[in-house]
Structure 1
């Protein structure tokens, strides 16, 4: 491996499972010092221990992305431990499923709080630290193809991810003078718990998804980490971009190639 992130320090929120855990492990393998995160320190520590066992450097920090003070404390702990914050990945997310007319106020607020407000808190606090350091940095927000298209029974999630996409562009413009690159990664159908929930909500089978995807298959965690590594490696001219890693899903206008 090329060690593209050697000497960098990265926080990955929601990194106890799925795409977040895969990104944390990939960044460590690329040479970054990684802070894993979950609302459960035990779950975050499991991933940090796996990184350490593979020869990487990681610590686990418990925090709730919807709590501004807890997020500030995580960034402070990161800087205390490693001396800087160079990469912030806002990955933590969840969904609630149901017809729009039946979504409760509590479920609506919970999804927006985690999937959008949590991204803003993480970005804001990381941006402050990077501006203070005067050495630039990278912020990567994990969005979804649902941020640009509609899917029934997913109103809060789709709305939150659309907000993430616009927030990404706004922060990229605002913080460009500080050499802070802000981008988003919008995965398509990757085999994770949240994808399984999406399939259930939309009554999609695996075959339906393969037929609907021009590349004819699900994406992999390795493919997502490849995209994430590129986007946080700031040796490029890319900022304010929402990269759709979806096998052509959003480009496919007709619908399904199934017989």
Structure 2
């Protein structure tokens, strides 16, 4: 197994992507510490992991609350002996954020995702790095989407927020690489299995006067593979990137765009 005895903390673990990656980490032998603002969805993921013979613990943590993040991570480190992997997959409702032309967005709507994602990622990655330097090892994973790199319409402040997360990931890699800490970003195209993407495609469809299915088909046909990535594909790559099998990689953005972006 790729992650035997590794301790992984996942923020937003109750969501589709966070949950899928948590299950993949546990399947590969990691002890997973799952957090979210709502325990109900997080505990559902933990139940799946425990039923499959994995190790999982849950905690209610607001990833925008500095004290809550620091207190929880310190407790994990004290109990488990350290943290090996940190991943932030939080999300926010997209209505009022996407599907609106830039000239019609309010400053508050435009900056909401930028402020939310950047504050949360700063808090969680900073906390992880502080503990990882003590062991001089660890992997910090982040997650973004293709508009961080491509020209996309009606995404509001989401594209700048994703681009900023990628920049933060590179900065972490630069500052802590000599102390054995790797920082890697996973950049995926839309994943139709998630409720967030269903919502986003619906919003874009409303703006364009199309059906959600038409927007999804158009998006898929832009890719070289003529399809969109799956949760399983993203989760499997996340597990590999968190493992020692990818130990030469850092300051990298992993391309999960199905060929929309050609590196």
TM-score (norm 2): 0.89
1:211 aligns with 2:221: yes
Residue 116 (structure 1) aligns with: 118
Kept in 2, the 8 Å contact 1:38–1:64? The answer is yes
Is residue 196 from structure 1 mapped to residue 198 from structure 2 by the alignment?
Answer: yes
Q: Which consecutive unaligned segments of at least 5 residues does structure 1 have?
A: 253-259
- Distance in 2 separating the partners of 1:99 and 1:205: 17
Residue aligned with 1:60, SS: strand
Partner of 2:209: none
Maintained 8 Å contact 2:34/2:42: yes
1:248 corresponding residue in structure 2: 259
User: Matches of 1:128 and 1:245 in 2, distance apart?
Assistant: 29
Q: TM-score, normalised by structure 1?
A: 0.90
For structure 2, the residue ranges without an aligned partner over 5 or more in a row are 206-213
Q: Distance in 1 between matches of 2:116 and 2:79?
A: 26
Whether the 8 Å CA contact 2:8–2:86 is kept in 1: the answer is yes
Q: How does 1:122-161 map to 2 (within 5 A)?
A: 122-132=124-134, 134-161=135-162
**Residue-by-residue CA offset, 1:128-167 (whole Å, 9 max, x unaligned):** 01012x2400000011111112322212111100001111
Give the equivalent residue in structure 2 for 1:167.
Answer: 168
2:89 is aligned to: 91
Q: How far off is 1:198 after superposition?
A: 2.9
State the SS of the aligned residue for 1:75.
Answer: helix
**Per-residue CA distance 1:222-249 (angstroms, 9 max, x = gap):** 1001110121113421000011201001
**1:24 counterpart residue number:** 22
Deviation (angstroms), 1:100? 1.8
Structure 1 residue 45: Cα displacement: 1.5
Q: Which residue of 1 aligns with 2:71?
A: 73
Q: CA deviation at 1:13?
A: 1.0
Question: Is the counterpart of residue 227 in structure 1 residue 225 in structure 2?
Answer: no
Local SS of the residue matching 1:155: coil
The answer as to whether partners of 2:10 and 2:32 remain within 8 angstroms in 1 is: yes
Q: After the TM superposition, which parts of structure 1 deviate over 6 Å for at least 4 consecutive aligned residues?
A: none
Aligned to 2:36: 38
Q: In 2, Cα distance between the equivalents of 1:135 and 1:175?
A: 9
Instruction: Tell whether 2:105 aligns with 1:103.
Output: yes
Distance 1:200 1:244 in 2: 25
Contact 2:173 2:251 in 1 (8 A): yes
Measure, in 2, the Cα distance between the counterparts of 1:135 and 1:55.
Answer: 30
